[in-house]
Chain A
Amino acid sequence: MKLSAILPVARVLRRELAVTALLLLGVSVVVFAVLYLAPGDPLNVLLEGQSPRAQLAAREALGVPHTWYGRYGTWLAKVLQGNFGNSIRTGLPVLPELARVGVNTLVLTLGSLLLTLVIAVPIAVHAAVNGDTAGNTAATVAAYVLSAVPVFWFGYIVVYVFIHWFGMFPLISGAATKQPHAWLYFLVPIFVLGTASGTLAELIRHLREELSRVLAEDYIRTARAKGAAVWRHAFKEGFLIPVTEIMSAKIPFLLGGAVIVEQVFNWPGMGRMAWQAAQDRDFPVIMGVALVAAAFVRTGNLLQRVVFTMVNPRASKE
C-alpha cells in the first residue's frame, strides 16, 4: 500500500483514539454514578441478613472508601494499572473473566453480523440492479417480518422447533457435552441473533437505496458508456460505505440482543455475566463489562472511519 493511502488513516486514528480514551472515561463516570445512586449496596450480596455491626466491620476489613470520589478514584487508579479488581460475588479477577466470556460474545456477534451480510447483500444487490421483482420483494418482506419479531420470542420458537420437530436439543452447556455434531449447535444462537436482531431489514433497505442511487450517478453512466466495469466503479461508494455504516451503527443493538440470546441459549457470554452482575450489584464486574462493551462499539466506529478514509482520503482533514 502506498504511503499516501496510509497517512490519512493514521491521521484519523490518532485523533479518534484520543476521543476514545475520553469516551471510555466518560462511560465509566456515568456507569459509576448510576450504580452509586441506585438503591442497594455492592456489599449486600456478601452481607445478606447480617447485623449492622457485622456489616460495618466487614466494610472496614475490605477497606472500602466511604466517599463516592474515594471509591471511584481507587477503582480508576487500579484500572490505569491494568487491574480491574475482583468480582465481589465470586472473588475472581474481573479482567481474565471478561476476556474469557468476551470471546464467546465476540463469536456470537461477529458470526451473526456475517450471517446478516450473507442474507442481506444478495437481496439488496438484486433489488438495486433489477428493480422490484416478485422474488426479491418476497425476500425483503420476509426479512422485515423477521426483524420485527422480538429476539427472545424467536429464540424460544427456534428452541421449540429444534426440540419438537427435529428431536434435537440445541443448547450447549460447556465442554462436557458429548452430543454428536455438538459444534453445529453453536450455529443456532448465531442464526437467531443474525436474523432477528433487526439489522437484517435495515441493511437491506440502506444498501439497496445507496446502491440504486450510486448506480444512477453520472460517473457510473459514463463508465457504462465507456464499457468499463460498472461494479468496480460502484463498489466503494455504493457498497462498502453503506455496509460499514450500518454495521457500525448496529453493534450496540447486536450487543443488546446478545444479552437475550445468551440467556435463552445458555451461552456463556458477556451478556449473561452482565445480567448476573447487575442483579448482584457486583460493581467491579459491571464497570468492566460496561468498559469492554463501550470499547467494542467504539472499535466498530473506528473501523468504519478507517474504511471511509481509505475510500475518501480527503475526509481525514475535515
Chain B
Amino acid sequence: MKRFLSIALLALATCAAAHAAPKNDGRPDGGLLNYSEFGRTATVDPITSNETISLRITELVFNGLVGIDEKQEIVPELAERWEVSKDGRTFTFFLRKDVKWHPREGEEPRPFTADDVVFTWNIMMNPRTITPLKVRYEFIEKVQKTGDYTVVFTLKRPILNALAKFTFKVIPRHGPANPEYLTREDPFARAPIGTGPYMLKTITGDGEVVLLSNPDYFKGKAHIDKFIAKPFADQNIMAQALMFNAVDMIVLVNPRNLPEVQGDKRFVLQPYNALSYSFFGYNMRNPLLSDRRVREAIAEAINRQEMLNSFFNGQGTLISGPFAPGSWAYNLDVKPLPFNPERARSLLAEAGYKAGADGVMEKDGKKLALSLKVPIEKESEAVKRVVLAFQNYLKSVGIAINVEFKEWQAWKEDVFLEHNFDIMFASWVFDDSADISSLFHSAEIGDWKNNFGGYSNPEVDALIVESKLTLDFEKRRTINRKLHAILAEEQPYAFLWTLTNYSAYHRKVRRVQIHPYKFFSFADEWFIPVSEQK
C-alpha cells in the first residue's frame, strides 16, 4: 500500500510541469525511421490484434492509464494519479485533462475523457469482441465514471500488482464504427486513432505502416517525425535491407545474421531481454516419464550449452527453472543441471533400466522409446537442429526418440487437446506478471489448458495458491523462489535457455531505449541529429 501512495505523490509532482508542446530538451526534431518487420500486420488496434508486430505499433499509437518505465516501475500516463481503497478492491484514477485524440482527416482533435475509459472496458468485455485481453481482465468487476476525469474500477478480489494491469490501451469512444463491439472488419482496426506519440497515417497496399509524430502529444512531441514499418517475407533479405540502408532498424535480428551486422561499424546491436524461454515438456501421463529419475537423466544427457553455442551463436543464457529469467521471481541460487551423461546413465540404471540388444534401454521388456512432437514454425531451422541434437544426445545414453514435426494447429491439438505426445518442444513468452499458475497448477489440467503435461503436485498447488493470495511482495517473492527450487528439482520440463533478442539500428538514431516486448515504449525520446536526417 505504501508503495502505491508514494507513486501517486510522485505523479502529482511531475504532471504539473508537462503540457503538450515540443519537448524542449535540447534534442533535435525531424527525420525518418524505416524499420523492418518479419511479416505483415493484420489489425493495428490494441483490442483485436494478437501479434507482436501489431503490439509494437499500438505502443506508438496508444496509451494506457499507467505505463511502465525503463526500470520496470509503474508511472502515470493517461491517469495523472490514483487512489487505492484500504481493502485493495477499488482503484480510482484521476485522468489528465490535457490529452487529445488524434484528429481524423478534416476534423478537430477531440478531448480524452472518462467516457473513453469506460467505453474501452465495455467494448473489450463484450462477448462479440474477440480479444486475447478478455481473460486478463476478468478480475475486474465493474468500471464507473464518477466525473469527466475520474474513473473507478472495482475488482472482484484484491490481487497483487493490480496496478500493472491498467497498462491496457485506451481507445476513443468515437473511434470504432460499431459502438457495441469491435471486430477485425471494423475500419478502426486498420485505421485507428489514439492518444500516443505517433498517429497512424496509412497502411499502404504493400503492407507498409506509415506513422507521423503527433504534434499535440501530452508528453511533448516525439523527436523523430516519421516511422515506417516495412514488411519482409525473408529474414536474410531483411538483414541485407539494413546493409543497403533500405531500412534503418531491425526490431529482432535473426541469430544467423548477427555476425554480419556486428562487423559493420555503421550499426548498433542492442540486446534486450525477452521474458521467454524454451523447454522440452514431458507428458506425465506416460509411466516412463512419470519417473523423476528418467526426467533428470534426460536433462543431464543433453549438452545445452553446446546447443546454445552452436545453434544460436551463444546468444542466450541457460535457465534452471519455470520463471522467465529477468523477472523478479526467478531464483538465481538454483543452478541449471550440468551436462553429465555418466550420471544420466546411472540414474537410468537406478530406475531399473538395462541396455537392450539394440542399445536402447529396457525395463520389464519395455523399451525406453519416446515420441517428440515439434511444431513447424516460420523459422524452424534452428529448432530442427536443436531437436536433432536432442535426439543424438539421448541416443548415446540409450533413449530412443522418435521426432515428429507437425503443422502448428495440428501440433496444438495433439499437445493441448488430445495429450497425444511424450515430449514436446516449445517456448513460453511471459508478460511482466511472473505468474506460472496456469502452467503447473493441477486445476489447469484439461482440454486446451496450459498444464498440458498433466503435472500434479499438492505442494506446488499450495504454493501457487498462496503466492496468488498474498499481497505482500517480499512474501510472494520468497514463495516463488521456493516454487522455482521445487520445479527445478522435479523437472516437469527440461528447462533450456532464454535467448537474447537483438535489435540492430543505424548509428544515426540516438538515445534508443527498448522495452522487452512492447519495444517502442520509449520511442518518443529517440532522435536523429540534424546532420544525419537526410
Q: Which residues of A contact B (CB under 8 A)?
A: 39-41, 44-52, 54, 57-58, 60-62, 86-92, 100, 159, 163, 169, 171, 173-177, 179, 262-264, 266, 268, 272, 276, 279, 281
A175–B130 touching, CB < 8 Å? no
Interface residues of B in 190-234 (CB under 8 A from A): 190, 204-208, 210, 228, 230-234
Residues from chain B with Cβ under 8 Å of A45 in the complex: 42
B404: Cβ under 8 A from any A Cβ: no
Find the B residue at minimum CB distance from A263.
B233
> Beyond A61-B128, A163-B240, A266-B234: 20 further Cβ-contacts under 8 Å?
A39-B409, A39-B410, A47-B130, A50-B134, A58-B127, A61-B127, A62-B130, A90-B42, A91-B43, A91-B184, A92-B190, A163-B243, A169-B240, A169-B241, A174-B207, A263-B233, A264-B234, A268-B206, A279-B378, A279-B408
Q: Which residue of B lies closest to A90 (CB)?
A: B42
- A residues less than 8 Å from B407 (CB atoms): 39-40
Known contacts A90-B184, A92-B190, A50 near B132 by CB under 8 Å: yes
Q: Are A266 and B233 in contact (CB under 8 A)?
A: yes
- Where chain B touches its partner, the secondary structure class is loop
Within 8 Å by CB of A44, from B127, B228, B409, lies B409
Q: A51-B135, A92-B190, A264-B237 are in contact. Are A46 and B206 (CB under 8 A)?
A: no
> Contact between A268 and B43 (Cβ–Cβ < 8 Å)?
no
Q: What are the 10 tightest A-B residue pairs by CB atom distance, in nearest-first order?
A: A40-B409, A91-B184, A169-B244, A174-B206, A39-B410, A61-B128, A91-B185, A268-B206, A89-B42, A90-B42
Contact assessment for B230 and A174 in the assembled complex, using a CB-CB cutoff below 8 Å: yes
Interface 1/0s, chain B 24-53, versus A by CB < 8 A?
A: 000000000010000110110000101000
Which residue in chain A gives the minimum CB-CB distance to B409?
A40
CB distance from A174 to the nearest CB of B (A): 4
Q: Which residues of B contact A174 (CB under 8 A)?
A: 204-208, 230
Q: Within 8 Å CB of B410, what residues of A?
A: 39-40
Whether A276 and B50, one on each chain, are in contact in the complex, defined by CB atoms closer than 8 angstroms, is: no
Which of A48, A179, A279 has the most C-beta atoms of chain B within 10 angstroms of its own C-beta? A279
Q: Is the CB of B184 within 8 A of A268?
A: no
CB-contact partner of A90 in B43, B230, B231, B241, under 8 A: B43
Q: Which of A40, A44, A281 has the most CB of B within 10 A?
A: A40
* Contact across chains for B183 and A169 when beta carbons are under 8 A apart: no
Is A90's CB under 8 angstroms from B190's CB? yes
The distance from the CB of B234 to the nearest CB of chain A, in whole angstroms, is: 7
Say yes or no: is B405 at the interface (Cβ < 8 Å to chain A). no
With a cutoff of 8 Å between Cβ atoms, the chain A residues found around residue B184 in the complex are: 46, 86-91
A263 to B234, CA, bound (A): 7
Report the minimum CB–CB distance from B266 to chain A (whole Å). 15
Instruction: Tell me, yes or no, whether B473 is within 8 Å of chain A by CB.
Output: no
Contact A50 B205 (CB under 8 A): no
Interface size class of B (residues with CB under 8 A): 35 or more
Chain A residues positioned under 8 Å from B240 (CB to CB): 159, 163, 169, 171
B139 CB, min distance to chain A CBs, angstroms: 15
Closest to A96 in B: B205
Do A91 and B241 touch across chains, with their CB atoms under 8 A apart?
no
- The answer to whether A91 and B186 have CB atoms under 8 Å apart is yes
15 A–B pairs (Cβ distance < 8 Å), ordered by A: A39-B413, A48-B50, A48-B132, A57-B127, A58-B127, A62-B183, A91-B43, A91-B184, A91-B185, A91-B186, A159-B240, A171-B241, A174-B230, A176-B208, A268-B206
Count of inter-chain pairs, beta carbons less than 8 A: 119
Q: How far is the CA of A265 from the CA of B243 in the complex (A)?
A: 16
Q: Is the CB of B208 within 8 A of A91?
A: no
Residue pair B135, A50 in contact (C-beta under 8 Å): yes
| Any A CB within 8 A of the CB of B261 | no
With an 8 A cutoff between CB atoms, is B512 at the interface? no
Closest partner residue, chain A, to B240 (CB atom): A163
- Asked whether, in the complex, the Cβ of B208 is within 8 Å of the Cβ of A173, the reply is yes
CB-defined contacts of A60 to chain B, threshold 8 Å:
127
- Interface residues as binary, B413-441 with A (CB distance below 8 Å gives 1, 0 otherwise): 10000000000000000000000000000
Q: How far is the CA of A266 from the CA of B232 in the complex (A)?
A: 6
Complex interface: chain A residues within 8 A of B243 (CB): 163
Q: Check B185–A86 contact: CB distance below 8 A.
A: yes
Instruction: Give the complex CA separation of A54 and B184 in angstroms.
Output: 17
- With A and B bound together, what is the CA distance between A266 and B37 in angstroms? 12
Q: How far is the CA of A51 from the CA of B135 in the complex (A)?
A: 8
Tell me which residues across on chain A come within 8 A of B118, comparing CB atoms.
none
Whole-angstrom CA separation of A59 from B447 in the bound complex: 18
Most chain B Cβ neighbours within 10 Å, of A47, A87, A169, A281: A169
B237: contacting residue among A57, A87, A159, CB under 8 A = A159
Given contacts A91-B43, A263-B233, contact A173 B241 (CB under 8 A): yes
Q: How far is the CA of A40 from the CA of B207 in the complex (A)?
A: 26
Q: Are A163 and B244 in contact (CB under 8 A)?
A: yes
B189 at interface, CB cutoff 8 A: yes
- Say yes or no: A52 contacts B447, CB within 8 Å: yes
The interface residues of chain A lying within 8 Å CB-to-CB of B205 are 100, 174, 268
- Asked if B448 lies at the interface with its beta carbon under 8 angstroms from chain A, I say yes
**B185 / chain A contacts, CB cutoff of 8 Å:** 86, 91
- Which A residues are CB-close (under 8 A) to B48? 46, 91
B462 located at the interface, meaning its Cβ lies under 8 Å from any Cβ of chain A in the complex: no
Q: Is the CB of B237 within 8 A of A171?
A: yes
Closest to B414 in A: A39
B1 within 8 A of A: no
B250 → chain A closest CB, angstroms: 13
Whether B246 lies near A169 (C-beta < 8 A) is yes
Partner of B206, one of A40, A47, A58, A175: A175
B42 touches A173 (CB 8 A): no
The answer to whether B237 and A49 touch across the interface, beta carbons within 8 angstroms, is: no
- Bound-state CA distance A268–B181 (Å) is 32
Please, which residues of chain B bring their CB within 8 A of the CB of A44?
409, 412
By a CB distance below 8 angstroms, the chain A residues around B413 are: 39-40
Residues of A within 8 A of B244 (CB): 163, 169
Q: Which residue of A lies closest to B232 (CB)?
A: A266
Residue of B nearest to A42 (CB): B409
Chain B hits for A281, CB < 8 A:
409
- State whether A54 touches B206 (Cβ < 8 A): no
* A268 touching B207, Cβ below 8 Å: yes
Smallest CB–CB gap between A78 and chain B, Å?
14
How far is it, in angstroms, between the C-alpha of A179 and the C-alpha of B244 when the chains are bound?
A: 11
For residue B185, which residue of chain A has the nearest CB?
A: A91
Q: Which residues of B contact A88 (CB under 8 A)?
A: 184
Alpha-carbon distance A148/B135, docked complex (angstroms): 53
Given A173-B208, A174-B204, verify A266-B237 contact (CB < 8 Å). yes
* A88 shortest CB reach to chain B, Å: 7
Partner of A46, one of B130, B186, B232: B130
CB distance from B122 to the nearest CB of A (A): 15
Smallest distance from the beta carbon of A250 to chain B beta carbons, Å? 25
Contacts of B183 in A (CB 8 A): 62, 91
Residues of chain B lying within 8 A (CB to CB) of residue A61: 127-128, 130, 181
Please tell me if the beta carbons of B448 and A177 are within 8 angstroms of each other in the complex. Answer: no
Chain A min CB distance to B123 (Å): 13
